[in-house]
C-alpha cells in the first residue's frame, strides 16, 4: 500500500516540474504577441529626425576639448614650410610599385612619374 501512495506523489510533483516551464513559455509567448498592443509591455516608440542623432562617439570626444587655434599660434610659414606640395607631386611616390608590368619592371627614361631611379 505504500508503493501506490509513493507513485501518486511522485506523479503529482513530476507533473508540476514539467508543467511549470511549459506555463512560462506560453506566458512569454502571449506577451510577445501582445507587445505592440499593450503599452506597459513595450512602450510606444518615439520618432526622431535622423539629423538629431547624426553624431558619433568620436565626435563627442572631440567636442570635449577646445579645437580653436590660439591667436598667437605659429602658422605653417612660421614652421619653415614655404610651399605646399600638390597631390600630383606626392601621389607618384606612393604608386611606384603599380607600374603597368609590375613592381619590379625597370624604370624607363621617359617615365613621367619615376621617383625610384
Is the pLDDT at 61 greater than 60? The verdict is yes
Nearest to 95 by CA among 68, 116, 76: 116
Q: What is the dihedral of CA 55, 56, 59, 64, to 10 degrees?
A: 90
User: Three-state secondary structure along 59-82?
Assistant: HHHHHCCCCCCCCCCCCCHHHCCC
Is the pLDDT at 111 greater than 70? The verdict is no
Decide: helix, strand or coil at residue 58: helix
Half-sphere exposure at residue 8, Cβ-oriented, CA atoms within 13 angstroms = 5
pTM for the whole thing? 0.34
Mean pLDDT of 40-48: 73
Q: What is the pLDDT of residue 42?
A: 77
Out of 27-41, 55-69, 88-102, pick the least confident. Answer: 88-102
Mean pLDDT of 2-25: 92
Amino acid at each position: 500500500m505504500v508503493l501506490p501512495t509513493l507513485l501518486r506523489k511522485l506523479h503529482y510533483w513530476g507533473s508540476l516540474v514539467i508543467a511549470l516551464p511549459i506555463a512560462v513559455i506560453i506566458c512569454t509567448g502571449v506577451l510577445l504577441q501582445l507587445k505592440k498592443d499593450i503599452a506597459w509591455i513595450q512602450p510606444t516608440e518615439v520618432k526622431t529626425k535622423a539629423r538629431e542623432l547624426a553624431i558619433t562617439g568620436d565626435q563627442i570626444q572631440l567636442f570635449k576639448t577646445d579645437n580653436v587655434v590660439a591667436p598667437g599660434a605659429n602658422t605653417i610659414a612660421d614652421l619653415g614650410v614655404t610651399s605646399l606640395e600638390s597631390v600630383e607631386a606626392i601621389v607618384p611616390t606612393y604608386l611606384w610599385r603599380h607600374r603597368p608590368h609590375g613592381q619590379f619592371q625597370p624604370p624607363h627614361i621617359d617615365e613621367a612619374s619615376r621617383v625610384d631611379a
